[in-house]
Structures are given as C-alpha cells and as structure tokens.
DNA sequence: CAGGATCCGTTTCGATACTG
DNA sequence: CAGTATCGAAACGGATCCTG
C-alpha cells in the first residue's frame, strides 16, 4: 500500500521479495501450483511459522504481488494467487533455476524440467505467463 | 564451506543470496563495478552496517561467490571480486531489472541501460560475463 | 477444522564505538 | 582502511489460543 521510500535502483526496488527468504518461497510455491491455501504454504518443506506466513502474505498483497479470494466451496478456505505483476516474476525464478542447476545438486525431476525449458526459454516463459494469467480470470 | 543441509529445490539452494537483502546488494555492487573495497560497499546508498557487511562478505566467500585479494598498491586495502560462479548471477540481476522497470519508477539512467540490454539480451549477458571473467584473471 | 492472532524465549540485526 | 565488540531493538519461530 504505502510504497516504501527507497532508492531508484531496480534491485533496491524489489528487495521486499528478493531480500526475504519467505517471500521468495511463497512466490515459488504459487508459480508451481496456483492457487494455494494458507495450509498449502504451511505444508511446504521449509516449515514456515504461522505468524511469519501471515505477515508475508499481507506484505505481498500490499505490494500487489498476490491476491486473496474465497474458495468456491467453503468460506473458511482462502485462496491465494499471483497477480499479473507476480506472474511476471517467472523469468527471474527460471534464471535462478538455471544458476542453481549449474552449481548445486538439485532434484532430478527439477533438473529435467529446467533442461526442457532451456531448449526454448523465451517460448516457455511467454506461454506460461499467458496460461497463469488466464487462470486468474477463471477463479475471479 | 559447510554446505548447509537444504532441500534440492533450486530456489531453496540459493536462499543465502536471494533470501538476504544485503547479499543481494553486494552482488549488485560488484556486477556494476569490480573490484570493490570494503569501503566501497559502505559508500553505497543503502547504508550497510560494518558488522553486517563483514558477515555477508564472509558468507559469500564461503559460498564461492566472491574472493578476497590484496590491493597491488597497499596491503591495507582488500579487493573483493566475483568468482565465475558469482558472475553467472548476472542474468538473474538483469531479469530483476526488467521486472522492476516494468512496475516501479526507477532511475532514468538505469532505465536507459535496461532498454539497451533488452535489444540484445542474450548477447549482452554473454559478452558481459566474458568481460568480467577476463578481469578476474588480470587482478590475480 | 482452516485461517490467523497472541504470547514469549531465542536469535539476529544494526548503529556506534573501538582496535590493528 | 578493514574489520571486531558491544548492546538495545527488532525479528524469528514454535506453541498455543481465538474465531467463523
């Protein structure tokens, strides 16, 4: 909401997401399987605490990266999903993937996915962004 | 040094750098102007505290992202520069730049640079990585 | 029962003073 | 100039408790 006073450097602008471990993992979870519930995030293997999760979800919403909406079935469940702005983070996550793949032992299935993406990175990024954007509308 | 026990997810692997505000800024500074001294980092507009800077430089060195070396002129000065592994972070920083440019008001000069890069991203990344790698050897 | 607020001991941050 | 030491403030994170 209140745009923090910050330098005009691109990196500096985006520190809320990239300068925070948990925000990064939330974005990753959403890019992999939208939409997610509060409980879905808690299930992730990195074990985020409930209060930390709540503050990060709020921050990401205020920054226009994600939105909340009701679950069609039960009011109790809340669905979180990326906005277009959030979806546009995909190319960055993909590049992080390439880098990690080069220097660390990563999961074999993830490795295979990255290899496929590399063949046609531009196309993959473009079509995935389109797909995710379409899915937003569906759940409106 | 001691590879932390961590999930094999690419994002999870690289949390030391991307999950920490200061590490990210250090990498940015180095990509913009190698090599840097301790004092150079302190001069950056984000005002990092000396103890924080020290811990981050140590961590980045342990992770093989940067190296320390003596200044040719005076022993008192220490030069920090990226390794090849660190230089390979460039594509990620570039993507962050594109994203920030799309959604935030960024510095005009930076905006112009990004526009140029966009025209030939692949080439820019490739030649810049080559240039930086050559410069490492020079200062050995 | 899912989402999330509250409490509280522990860790980390970060500003400044200080040392080699 | 390149770092350590100190110390109050802030953030973490785990358990538990509320609320619809």
DSSP result, B68-128: EEE-SS-TT-EEEEE-HHHHTTHHHHHHHHHHHHHHS---HHHHHHHHHHHHTHHHHHHHH
Question: What Å distances lie between residue B38 and A36, A81, B50, B69, B137, CA to CA?
Answer: 43, 41, 9, 12, 20
pLDDT at A137: 60
Residues of A with Cβ-Cβ distance to B114 under 8 angstroms: 10
pTM for the full predicted model: 0.89
Distance CA B76, CA A13 (A): 34
Percent of chain A whose predicted confidence (pLDDT) is above 90: 58
Q: What is the pLDDT of residues A95-139, one digit of tens each?
A: 999 999 999 988 899 999 999 999 988 898 888 888 887 877 665
A38, A30 in Cβ contact below 8 A? no
Q: What ranges do the domains of chain B cover?
A: 10-139
Taking residue B88's Cβ as centre, other Cβ atoms within 10 Å add up to 20
CATH code for the structural domain at B10-139: 1.10.10.10
pLDDT at B138: 61
Those of residues 54-83 in A touching chain B at CB distance below 8 A are: 64
Mean pLDDT of chain A: 86
B92, A95 in Cβ contact below 8 A? yes
Distance CA B138, CA A6 (A): 36
How many Å does it take to go from CA B4 to C1' D19? 40
Looking at the complex, report in whole angstroms how far the Cα of residue A140 sits from the nearest Cα belonging to chain B. Answer: 23
Residues of B with Cβ-Cβ distance to A24 under 8 angstroms: 11, 15, 18-19
pLDDT at B93: 93
pLDDT at A6: 58
Contact positions of strand D to protein Cβ (< 7 A):
1-6, 12-16, 20
Q: What is the mean pLDDT of residues A25-54?
A: 91
Q: Which among A10, A98, A103 has the least Cβ separation from residue B100?
A: A10
Distance CA A18, CA B9 (A): 16
């Amino acid at each position: 909401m209140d745009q923090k006073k910050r330098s005009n450097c691109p990196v500096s602008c985006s520190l809320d997401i990239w300068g925070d471990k948990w925000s990064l993992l939330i974005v990753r979870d959403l890019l992999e399987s939208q939409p997610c519930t509060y409980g879905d995030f808690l299930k992730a293997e990195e074990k985020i605490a409930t209060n930390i999760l709540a503050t990060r979800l709020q921050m990401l919403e205020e920054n226009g990266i994600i939105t909340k909406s009701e679950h069609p079935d039960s009011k109790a469940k809340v669905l979180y999903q990326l906005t277009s702005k959030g979806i546009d983070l995909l190319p960055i996550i993909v590049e992080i993937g390439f880098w990690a793949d080069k220097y660390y032992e990563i999961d074999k299935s993830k490795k295979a996915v990255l290899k496929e993406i590399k063949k046609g990175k531009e196309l993959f990024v473009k079509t995935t962004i389109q797909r995710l954007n379409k899915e937003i509308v569906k759940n409106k």
